[in-house]
C-alpha cells in the first residue's frame, strides 16, 4: 500500500480541490490512478464542487470518502477555522477495502449503527482488521443545533456486526459554529450519514490515545441523569455540586468546552494510564434543572468520575507516537492518521503550543500524515471503542516488509 497526501487552504473551492489532489499524486509518485481517496475540508467549501474538483484530477472510478473537519494537518502544514482541505490517495496493491454507508443518524443513532454493522457482518470476521468509522456529528434544524451521539451509534454497530473490531473514527463537523456538515460517501455527497471503511489483506493498524489530561480529584458519582444531561452528583444538583467543588477556580459560565470529566475503566486507585480513561467534555448548562450537559449520554446514574486537568506540556505526545513506530518489528509503516479534538487547537483552547506541530515533528516525515480536527474522537479504551472528548487519536498503518 502506498499513500500520498495533499493539502490546500485556497479559498477558491475548485482550485483547492485540484491543488490538494495534484499534490497528493506528486507526493506518492505513482502513475496509475489511485484506488481510494480520503478527503476532509472545512465548511467554507461547497461539498459538491470540491468533490467534482478532486474527481477531475484522480478520475471518476476511485471512491471519495470523508466529510467535514474544522481544520487539517499534513506533514509540514496545518490550519483550522479557514479554508483547509486535505486529501489522502491510496494505491492499495495487495490490500483490499470495503465501504459501507448508512443514513438516518438524525432519527436514530443506534438503529443507524445496527444497519451499518449488519452490512459488514459477512465481510468483517477478524477483529484485528482496521475499521474507520466517520459520522455526521451535527444536527442543525433552523436555529436549533444538537450533537449526534457516538455512544448509541457504536452500540448499534457492535450489535449489528456481532463484535467490536479494531476501530477508530471521528464525529465530523466543518467549523466551530456547527454549520451543516456533509459527507462524501464514495460515489456521492450526503448528510446525516455514517461511513465504515474497512481494510483487508495484510494491512495492520495500531493506535494510541493522547488526552493530555490527568485526574485532579478523587471520585464522585452521578446519581441522576437524563440522556446526556447530568442532573445530580452525590445526591446534589450537578451544577451546584460542581460550582461548590471548583469554587473560584472555574466559574460555572466557563464549564462549557472547558470542564472535563474522566471515567476510569482501569483499576480504581492504580497508577494513572490515559489508555484507561474516557474523557467527557461539558457542552452546555441546563440552568433550569441545574444540570451539566455533556457531549455523550453515557454518564448515567451510578457512573463514577474524576475532574480532569489539562496538561500545558506536550512532551507526552512524542513517546506515545514513537511507541507505535518502534513496535512494528517486521512491518513497514505506510500511513498515519491523526484525529484531534477541535477544542485542542491553540487559538481555541488558549494553549501556548500547537499539538499539530508536536505530532508533525514526532512523525518526522517517516510516513504520509493526514490529520483532522474533529467534533468527537473514537478509539479503544480498555479494548472497547468509545466516543471521546478532548482527545488526540494517532493511528499508524503498516504492511509486512
C-alpha cell at 140: 442543525
Written as one string, the DSSP assignment of 137-187 is -EEEETTEEEEPPHHHHHHHHHHHHSS--EEEEEEE-SSTT-----EEEES
Average pLDDT, the chain: 95
* 222: phi then psi, degrees, rounded to nearest 5: -70, 125
C-beta neighbour count of 28 within 10 angstroms: 19
State pLDDT tens for residues 351-387. 888 999 999 999 999 999 999 999 999 999 998 999 9
* Position 247 confidence tier, pLDDT thresholds 50, 70, 90: confident
State pLDDT tens for residues 313-322. 799 999 999 9
3-state secondary structure (DSSP) of residue 236: strand
Q: How far apart are CA 254 and CA 41, in angstroms?
A: 29
Sign of CA dihedral 10, 16, 22, 26: positive
C-alpha cell at 3: 499513500
Torsion of CA 396, 215, 375, 208, to 10 degrees: 10
**CB 170, CB 377: distance < 8 Å:** yes
What pLDDT is attached to residue 259? 94
* 195: phi then psi, degrees, rounded to nearest 5: -130, 130
Alpha carbons within 13 angstroms on the beta-carbon side of residue 77 total 13
State pLDDT tens for residues 40-68. 999 999 999 999 999 999 999 999 999 99
Q: How far apart are CA 72 and CA 49, in angstroms?
A: 19
Nearest alpha carbon to residue 173 among 367, 379, 343, 401: 343
pLDDT at 2 over 90: yes
Mean pLDDT for the stretch of residues 25-49: 97
C-alpha cell at 288: 433550569
The distance from CA 306 to its chain's CA centroid, rounded to whole angstroms, is 23
Buried/exposed code over 347-371 (b: 16+ C-beta within 10 A; e: otherwise) = ebbebeebbbebbbebbeeebbbbb
User: 168: which strand partners?
Assistant: 132
E strands within 265-391? 277-286, 291-294, 304-310, 331-341, 369-374, 376-381, 384-388
User: What pairing do the DSSP bridges indicate for beta strands 376-381 and 384-388?
Assistant: antiparallel
pLDDT at 142 over 80: no
Q: How far apart are CA 167 and CA 56, in angstroms?
A: 31
C-alpha cell at 296: 455523550
Q: Which of 233-247, 269-283, 370-384, 385-399 has the lowest mean pLDDT?
A: 269-283
What pLDDT is attached to residue 250? 87
**Burial (CB count <10 Å: 0-12, 13-18, 19+), residue 277:** buried
Q: How far apart are CA 112 and CA 108, in angstroms?
A: 6
pTM of the model: 0.95
Nearest alpha carbon to residue 228 among 292, 140, 278: 292
What pLDDT is attached to residue 211? 86
Amino acid at each position: 500500500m502506498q499513500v500520498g497526501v495533499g493539502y490546500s487552504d485556497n479559498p477558491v473551492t475548485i482550485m483547492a480541490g485540484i491543488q490538494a489532489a495534484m499534490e497528493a499524486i506528486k507526493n506518492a509518485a505513482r502513475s496509475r490512478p489511485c484506488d481510494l481517496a480520503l478527503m476532509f475540508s472545512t465548511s467554507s467549501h461547497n461539498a459538491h464542487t470540491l468533490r467534482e474538483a478532486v474527481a477531475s484530477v484522480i478520475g471518476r472510478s476511485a471512491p471519495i470518502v470523508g466529510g467535514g473537519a474544522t481544520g487539517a494537518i499534513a506533514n509540514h502544514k496545518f490550519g483550522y477555522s479557514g479554508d483547509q482541505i486535505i486529501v489522502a490517495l491510496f494505491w492499495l496493491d495487495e490490500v483490499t477495502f470495503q465501504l459501507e454507508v448508512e443514513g438516518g443518524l438524525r432519527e436514530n443513532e443506534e438503529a443507524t449503527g445496527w444497519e451499518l454493522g449488519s452490512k459488514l457482518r459477512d465481510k468483517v470476521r477478524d477483529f484485528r482488521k482496521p475499521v474507520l468509522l466517520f459520522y455526521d456529528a451535527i444536527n442543525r434544524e433552523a436555529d436549533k443545533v444538537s450533537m449526534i451521539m457516538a455512544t448509541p451509534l457504536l452500540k448499534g454497530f457492535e450489535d449489528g456486526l456481532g463484535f467490536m473490531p479494531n476501530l477508530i473514527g471521528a464525529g465530523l463537523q466543518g467549523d466551530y459554529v456547527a454549520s451543516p456538515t456533509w459527507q462524501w460517501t464514495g460515489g456521492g455527497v450526503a448528510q446525516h450519514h455514517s461511513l465504515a471503511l474497512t481494510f483487508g489483506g495484510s494491512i495492520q493498524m495500531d493506535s494510541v490515545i493522547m488526552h493530555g489530561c490527568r485526574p485532579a480529584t478523587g471520585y464522585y458519582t452521578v446519581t441522576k441523569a437524563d440522556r446526556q444531561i447530568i442532573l445530580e452528583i452525590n445526591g446534589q444538583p450537578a451544577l451546584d455540586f460542581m460550582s461548590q467543588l471548583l469554587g473560584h477556580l472555574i466559574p460555572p459560565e466557563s464549564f462549557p468546552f472547558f470542564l472535563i470529566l474522566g471515567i476510569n475503566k482501569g483499576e480504581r486507585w492504580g497508577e494513572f494510564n490515559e489508555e484507561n480513561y474516557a474523557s467527557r467534555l461539558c457542552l452546555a448548562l441546563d440552568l433550569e434543572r441545574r444540570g451539566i450537559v455533556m457531549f455523550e449520554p453515557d454518564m448515567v446514574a451510578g457512573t463514577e468520575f474524576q475532574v480532569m486537568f489539562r496538561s500545558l506540556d506536550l512532551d507526552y505526545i512524542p513517546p506515545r507516537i514513537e511507541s507505535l513506530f518502534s513496535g512494528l518489528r517486521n512491518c513497514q509503516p505506510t500511513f498515519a492518521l491523526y484525529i484531534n479534538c477541535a477544542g485542542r487547537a491553540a487559538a481555541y483552547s488558549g494553549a501556548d503550543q500547537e499539538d499539530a506541530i508536536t505530532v508533525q515533528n514526532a512523525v518526522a516525515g517517516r510516513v504520509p500524515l493526514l490529520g483532522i480536527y474533529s467534533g468527537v474522537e473514537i478509539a479503544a479504551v480498555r479494548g472497547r471503542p468509545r466516543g471521546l472528548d478532548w482527545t488526540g487519536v494517532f493511528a499508524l498503518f503498516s504492511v509486512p516488509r
